[in-house]
Amino acid sequence: MKSTLPFRRTAESFSAAAKTLPQEYFISPDVFAIEQEQIFSRQWILVGHQSQVATPGDYILAEIAGESVIIVRDKGGEIRGFYNVCRHRGSRLCQEKAGHVSAIQCPYHAWTYSLDGKLIGAPDMDAGFDKTDYSLAAVSVQSWEGFIFVNLTEAAMPLAKWFATLGSKFSKWNLSALLPAKRIDYDINANWKLIFQNYSECYHCSGVHPELTKLSPSDSAKNDLYEGPFLGGFMKIEKGRSLTKSGNACALPIGDRDYNRVFYFSIFPNMLLSLHPDYAMVHQLWPKSPSRTLVSCDWLFNPDAFGRSDFNPDDAVEFWDMVNRQDWHVCELSQQGISLRAYQPGPYSARESIPAAWDEYYLSVMKV
């Protein structure tokens, strides 16, 4: 797959006769278990942005394929990952979703680990006990464009290699420098794949998102990534407008100051990356069951925008919170209908070429 293909309208990359996935992919606990094993236990999974662990001792937790992982910045500035499991009797170590610690101390018998995972305190153990035998179990953590990814496999493909086909495509947005202004967590009664499929088309926009459609014509999508694990392209924004409640830019620009486009990319398997002229929005998807998905949505801005009188992040947050909820509603309606016996795979429209491509890649991974 070449990184920079020409932009094509959605219909031009459509595989005719593509249909939606069979019912079992949305309701079967067996399929869900295979996904957790084949996808979430093996691929690079987005867990956050480096600004969330900005200083040594900052940590966040992630639950990946049922495993709790601590992502922490150590004293040398490196971001590390450890299973959230004490090497004494296995207690969970960190309990808050995010926090700051000078060392990781077990709440049970107070074994203490340094931020690079070494056991540095184990009260009253026998004389022959060697602390160097009981470091925390590490997991692979690497960053791409400032975003932190975790891979649970022992010999993970380097993240840079995974993203190599994209080259420097994203560097103009300077994503690693952005700072978050807001996170909203959503609990959605729909299969995680429905959320990807919904994100990847605007066939639904004129009916579901009247406010969005006023600012961004629903048939203006053009894509330059239309096969493989990374999919997407841009839609037009009406000249001089932005995707905000007011319709005006709400912060200093990020990226290349292309005011007439919003870029939407899905990064397999759990990241949605939406790049507006004046902010980035990032969704993390966390499948919890065949019919339930947790989504964290972060809004990130140019660091120079903060503190200025023209900085109004709520304008963007409130707009997309509204659009997000409109999307979750139709995803939940889809889940409800797909769960019934009358459901049969239906034909994708030519305007749904990206969901069809997403399904194709997903099935290729499930077959491995």
Nearer to ligand FES, 8 or 109 (CB): 109
Interaction of residue 86 with ligand FES, rule CB under 6 A:
yes
Interaction of residue 91 with ligand FES, rule CB under 6 A:
yes
Interaction of residue 111 with ligand FES, rule CB under 6 A:
yes
In the list 8, 9, 88, 169, the residue contacting ligand FES (rule: CB under 6 A) is: 88
Interaction of residue 131 with ligand FES, rule CB under 6 A:
no
Interaction of residue 352 with Fe ion, rule CB under 5 A:
no
Between the CA of residue 47 and those of 97, 255, 283, 307, what are the distances in Å? 12, 23, 10, 27
Q: How far is the CB of 180 from Fe ion (least distance, A)?
A: 22
In the list 108, 167, 185, 344, the residue contacting ligand FES (rule: CB under 6 A) is: 108
SS3 assignment for 146-168? CEEEEECCCCCCCHHHHCHHHCC
In 178-312, alpha helices (H): 192-199, 205-208, 210-215
d(CA 163, CA 229): 10
In the chain, alpha helices (H): 24-27, 29-35, 159-162, 192-199, 205-208, 210-215, 313-338, 353-367
Interaction of residue 137 with ligand FES, rule CB under 6 A:
no
Residue nearest to Fe ion (CB): 327
Interaction of residue 306 with ligand FES, rule CB under 6 A:
no
d(CA 26, CA 69): 27
The residues, ordered by sequence, that sit 6+ positions from 160 with a Cβ below 8 Å of its Cβ are 142, 144
In the list 2, 75, 89, 257, the residue contacting ligand FES (rule: CB under 6 A) is: 89
The residues, ordered by sequence, that sit 6+ positions from 309 with a Cβ below 8 Å of its Cβ are none
Q: Tell me 318's DSSP state.
A: H
Q: How far is the CB of 108 from Fe ion (least distance, A)?
A: 46
Interaction of residue 109 with ligand FES, rule CB under 6 A:
yes
Which partner in Fe ion, ligand FES, none is near 88 (CB below 5 to 8 A by kind)? ligand FES
In the list 298, 327, 352, 359, the residue contacting Fe ion (rule: CB under 5 A) is: 327
Contact residues for Fe ion, defined by CB under 5 A: 327
Residues of the shown chain interacting with ligand FES in the complex, contacts defined by CB under 6 A: 86, 88-89, 91, 106, 108-111
